[in-house]
Structures are given as structure tokens and as C-alpha cells.
């Protein structure tokens, strides 16, 4: 609806100027580097804020545990048990999942809070829409499951990871090449880019809906303001849908982390 309306609207006054990534990712608060992106900015500030908020929430939720839990205790226990049982226990297995619960819970809360920052007024920036954040998280997981694989299988882990059992000898070379590329190159890239791309795209869509609606309502005449009301309603719908996506992406990232851990410590490929 917005793309259909705005070309007609841009003929008036100065025209509509769509928001860009630079409009969403603000310059640094403390720029200590020579170029944009090398200082302490809003994204880094929100990352630190998320760590403080998560720490405060978990401490507050577990400080006064009761048989009949209060709101904080219930929310904390439910979130923890959801990741522990539905992700860790179900995917990694009851025998091996316990050592990995802390990292899975930490990743889930960290990604969830940083995603939800994009839907909080005045903050309005999912820090995972910066590709560096997504690369750092996926890189940590990448190193972790490789180390786990080597610790479990020794150097033979790389054979376990890229040589599936039961493959005919005639196909072993192309299969091994495909497995090397998909496991050690494509997997970490898709793990990071899935999170980054969905957060950036959702953020851009909401920004476009908001700026387009504001333009149609304030800078146009005739029937165009009516269309602005409709685009605003659509923007609200996209905003609510984006909250769902933000929660879903935190779950998907942790789900894939558990899958990769399970694959590294299992006996067979």
C-alpha cells in the first residue's frame, strides 16, 4: 500500500524521502575511530543495557523463591524451564544437556532482549540488526561446537562431521566437499545472517510504514491522508508481527545452537 501511494504523493512539496540504514543506525556517542562504525554508539550502549537488565531480572526472579511463585518468579522459572526442557533436553538429550543449559539460557535472553529493543519507543533499535552482533554470536557458537566435537571425538571429529555413514565410495568425494562447505562455511553464515537479516528487514519495514504514514497524513491533500490512516493501521499490524518475529528469532537461534551441539557430541554423523 505504501509503495502504491507514495509515488503519487512525491509529486507534492519536496517529496517523500524514504528512511535509510544510516537513519536507523545513528552515529557514535563517543567516536574514537576515524570512520563511522568504530566508536561507542547507541548499539553498544543497548548491548550493555541488555546485560544489566537481564542480570537484574534473573536476580530479582530468584531472590525470594516461594512455593506459590509471584509474577517475576513465575516468568523467570517459565522462561528458564522452556529453554532447559524444550530446547536443551529435547534436542541434546537427557543424558548430555545439563552442561549446556547456562549457555542456551544466556543466548536466549540476550538475543530476545536485544531484539525487543527494536519495538520499545525511544530505544527503537534491535542491536542484532547490526551484522557485527549477529556475527559475534554465531562465531561464538561456531567455535563452541567445533571445540566440543574435538573434545568428544578428538581430531577424528572432522571425519565424523563431513563423512556420512553409508555413502557409496563412488560418491564419497563430492559428498565430503558438500559437507565441508555446508557444515563449516555455510552453517555459521546462515546462523548469523538469518538473525541479522530478519531484524534489519523488520526494522526497515516499520520505519518505512511510520515515515510513509506521517508523510501522507501531513504533507498531502485530497484523498491521500485517508490512505495514510490505512498505512498507519498496516504499520501497527506490522509492528505487532515484528514483536512475534523478534521472539521467534531468539528461539530459532538457540534451537539451532542446540542442534549443532548435539551434532558435535553425538556418536554418528
Write down the domain spans for the chain: 23-265
Contacts of residue 216, defined as CB under 8 A and 6 or more positions apart, other chains included, come to 5, 6, 9, 224, 225, 227, 228, 231
Across residues 232-237, what is the average pLDDT? Answer: 88
Separation CA 78–CA 103 (nearest Å): 17
In this prediction the pTM is 0.86
Q: Identify the three-state secondary structure at position 93.
A: coil
What is the band of 219 on the pLDDT scale with cuts at 50, 70, 90?
confident
Across residues 156-169, what is the average pLDDT? Answer: 84
Share of the chain above pLDDT 70, in %: 86
How does DSSP classify residue 222?
T
Bin 124: left if φ > 0, else alpha if -120 < ψ < 50, else beta: left
- Summary mean pLDDT of the chain: 85
Positive or negative, the CA dihedral 200, 206, 210, 216 is positive
Say yes or no to pLDDT of 146 above 60: yes
Say yes or no to pLDDT of 28 above 90: no
Across residues 111-126, what is the average pLDDT? Answer: 90
Task: Tell me if 47 sits within 8 A of 127, measured CB to CB.
Answer: yes
Q: Which three cell numbers stand for residue 130?
A: 547490526
Amino acid at each position: 500500500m505504501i509503495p502504491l501511494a507514495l509515488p503519487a504523493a512525491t509529486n507534492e512539496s519536496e517529496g517523500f524521502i524514504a528512511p535509510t540504514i544510516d537513519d536507523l543506525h545513528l552515529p557514535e556517542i563517543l567516536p574514537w575511530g576515524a570512520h563511522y562504525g568504530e566508536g561507542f554508539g547507541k548499539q553498544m550502549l543497548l548491548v550493555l543495557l541488555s546485560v544489566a537488565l537481564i542480570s537484574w531480572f534473573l536476580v530479582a526472579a530468584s531472590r525470594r523463591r516461594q512455593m506459590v511463585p509471584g509474577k517475576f518468579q513465575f516468568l523467570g522459572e517459565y522462561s528458564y524451564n522452556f529453554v532447559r526442557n524444550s530446547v536443551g533436553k529435547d534436542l541434546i538429550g537427557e543424558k548430555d544437556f545439563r552442561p549446556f543449559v547456562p549457555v542456551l539460557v544466556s543466548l536466549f535472553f540476550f538475543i530476545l532482549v536485544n531484539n525487543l529493543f527494536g519495538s520499545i519507543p525511544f530505544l527503537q533499535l534491535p542491536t542484532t540488526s547490526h551484522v557485527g552482533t549477529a556475527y559475534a554470536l554465531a562465531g561464538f557458537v561456531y567455535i563452541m561446537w567445533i571445540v566440543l566435537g574435538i573434545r568428544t571425538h578428538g581430531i577424528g571429529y572432522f571425519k565424523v562431521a563431513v563423512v556420512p555413514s553409508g555413502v557409496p565410495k563412488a560418491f564419497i568425494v563430492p559428498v565430503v566437499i558438500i559437507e565441508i562447505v555446508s557444515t563449516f562455511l555455510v552453517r555459521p553464515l546462515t546462523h548469523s545472517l538469518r538473525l541479522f537479516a530478519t531484524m534489519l528487514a523488520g526494522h526497515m519495514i516499520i520505519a518505512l510504514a511510520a515515515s510513509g504514514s506521517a508523510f501522507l497524513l501531513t504533507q498531502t491533500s485530497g484523498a491521500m491522508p485517508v490512505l495514510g490512516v490505512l498505512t498507519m493501521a498496516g504499520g501497527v499490524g506490522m509492528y505487532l508481527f515484528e514483536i512475534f518475529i523478534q521472539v521467534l528469532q531468539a528461539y530459532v537461534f538457540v534451537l539451532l545452537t542446540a542442534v549443532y551441539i548435539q551434532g558435535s557430541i553425538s556418536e554418528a554423523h
